[in-house]
Structure 1
Amino acid sequence: MTLLEVKKLKKVYTSRLGTNHVQALSNVSFSVEEGEYVAIMGESGSGKTTLLNIIAALDKPTSGEVVLNGISSQNLKEKDISKFRRDNLGFVFQDFNLLDTFSLQDNIFLPLVLSGKSYDEMNSRLKPIAKKLGIDDILQKYPYEVSGGQKQRAAVARALITKPQLILADEPTGALDSRSSDQLLDLFNEINEEGQTIIMVTHSIKAASHASRVLFIKDGEVFHQLYRAFMSQDEMYQKISDTLTIIATGGVKNE
């Protein structure tokens, strides 16, 4: 079943005086099936972060629309957008976005608190997630007391606890060492295998090679798509590397 439809997205940023125009996205269309794991790659300035922000309803397109499970975020009123995000989306960021004055548990609970959930419900949701992520023994610690990998696991727990239709990850391994990165990517594989849909923006070929599909963005458009199919992770890694080389050297778009 199609979960997400991105239709002819265009985004133009205009300076305050209206004299300069920067086109971040020119014509982006693709769909994501329920349970897919999609990585988005591209050079800096290609438009991939703008694309993620529009999917997350953090930014609005100049034209086009994003439809999640039949709901167009462009038709939502301003007062409904925050609730739409809380109810449908889970976020994992490069810099974790944890509040240092909150324990890990309270950071994880935060989106449910904002949704008005009871403590008993929050606690019952957290227990299996924390155990799965291996953070059940550090929930009372504060972000400054734990490692980067543990912070990111707490951030993943915060994303999962709302039971989102879609997890959006923005460079999730960017602030992690290689061991913690590997652990996080293995974790993403596990939750994807359990049916969670994931879209991940990344510069890392290794991270992208875990996905079932990679979208390459160039000059504000989808330049190419690469499906894993029956490829091994090593084969996927090489295909991604070859495609990025073609992009960097100005190769011809491969339909």
Structure 2
Amino acid sequence: MEVLEVNNLKKIYTTRFGGNKVEALHDINFSVEQGEYVAIMGESGSGKTTLLNILAAVDRPTSGDIFLNGKNTTAIKDDMLAKFRREHLGFVFQDFNLLDTFSIEDNIYLPLVLAGKEYKDMKQELDVIAGKLGISHILHKYPYEVSGGQKQRTAVARAIITKPDILLADEPTGALDSKSTGDLLDVFDKLNSDGQTILMVTHSVRAASNAGRVLFIKDGEIFHQVYRGAMTKDEMYKKISDTLTVLLAGGDLHE
């Protein structure tokens, strides 16, 4: 079953005085199945961050449609977008986006508090997720008291506590050391094996090689895609690296 469907997506930015137009995305089409783990890659300026912002309903497309479980997100009114994001989307960012004046526990609770959930229900959800992510022992600490890896696992807990239809991750390993990166990727693998749909934008070949499919964007278009299939992570790593080499060299790829 398709969770996400993107049809003929286009995004054009106009300069301040309307003199120039820049087409950031051109005729983007793809879909994501329930339980898929998809990575999006491309060099800086390729359009992948623009695409993620539009999928996250933070930016609006110039034209095209996005369907999340059959609902056209481009038709949602501005005053309903925050509620929609809170109820259907989970977000993990490179810089964690945690509130330093809130404890780890309260940072995770935040989306549920905004949704008006009862404390007893929130506590039950938190206990399960914190245990799964290995952060039960730091819940009463503050973000400035824990490591980068623990901050990112806190951010993941906050993102999934609302049981989102899809987890959107923007360079989630970008601020982490090698060990913390490995720990986070293990967390993503476990979440995905439990059925969580994940869409991740990344520059990291290591991170992308954990995904089941990688979409490559070049000049605002889908350039190529690689399916993991029966490949090991090492084989997927090499396939992604080879594809990026061709992409950066301006060559062509065929399925």
Please report the TM-score for the alignment, with normalisation by the length of structure 2. 0.99
Cα pair 1:223 1:254 within 8 Å, conserved: no
For 2:29, the equivalent position in structure 1 comes to: 29
- Percent identity of paired positions between Structure 1 and Structure 2: 67
Between the aligned partners of 1:126 and 1:29, the Cα distance in structure 2 is 36
Deviation at 1:254, TM superposition (A): 2.6
Between the aligned partners of 1:11 and 1:77, the Cα distance in structure 2 is 19
- Spell out structure 1 runs of 4+ moving beyond 3 A: none
For 1:130, the equivalent position in structure 2 comes to: 130
Between the aligned partners of 2:212 and 2:140, the Cα distance in structure 1 is 35
Q: Report the residue type matching 2:83 in the other structure.
A: K
Superposed counterparts of 1:214-225, under 5 Å: 214-225=214-225
Superposed counterparts of 1:66-105, under 5 Å: 66-105=66-105
For 1:237, the equivalent position in structure 2 comes to: 237
Between the aligned partners of 2:226 and 2:145, the Cα distance in structure 1 is 40
Secondary structure at the counterpart of residue 137 of structure 1: helix
Answer yes or no: is 1:110 the counterpart of 2:110.
Answer: yes
Cα pair 1:46 1:220 within 8 Å, conserved: yes
For 2:58, the equivalent position in structure 1 comes to: 58
Cα pair 1:216 1:223 within 8 Å, conserved: yes
Deviation at 1:21, TM superposition (A): 1.1
Cα distance per residue 1:127-179 (max 9 Å; x no partner): 01001111111101000000000000100000110010100000000000000
Provide closer, same or farther for how the CA distance between residues 90 and 220 of structure 1 changes in structure 2, counting only shifts above 3 A. same
Which consecutive residues of structure 2, in runs of 5 or more, have no partner in the other structure?
A: none
Between the aligned partners of 2:157 and 2:210, the Cα distance in structure 1 is 20
* RMSD of aligned alpha carbons: 0.7
Please report the TM-score for the alignment, with normalisation by the length of structure 1. 0.99
Between the aligned partners of 1:27 and 1:245, the Cα distance in structure 2 is 24
For 1:119, the equivalent position in structure 2 comes to: 119
Between the aligned partners of 1:101 and 1:169, the Cα distance in structure 2 is 24
Q: Report the residue type matching 2:15 in the other structure.
A: S
Between the aligned partners of 2:253 and 2:15, the Cα distance in structure 1 is 31
Deviation at 1:253, TM superposition (A): 4.3
Deviation at 1:121, TM superposition (A): 1.0
Deviation at 1:236, TM superposition (A): 0.2
Deviation at 1:15, TM superposition (A): 1.2
Aligned length: 255
Q: Report the residue type matching 1:58 in the other structure.
A: V
Between the aligned partners of 2:80 and 2:153, the Cα distance in structure 1 is 29
Cα pair 1:105 1:140 within 8 Å, conserved: yes
Secondary structure at the counterpart of residue 113 of structure 2: helix
Between the aligned partners of 1:78 and 1:137, the Cα distance in structure 2 is 39
Cα distance per residue 1:33-57 (max 9 Å; x no partner): 0000000000000000000011100
Cα distance per residue 1:104-135 (max 9 Å; x no partner): 11110111111111111111110010011111
Which consecutive residues of structure 1, in runs of 5 or more, have no partner in the other structure?
A: none
Answer yes or no: is 1:254 the counterpart of 2:228.
Answer: no
Secondary structure at the counterpart of residue 225 of structure 2: strand
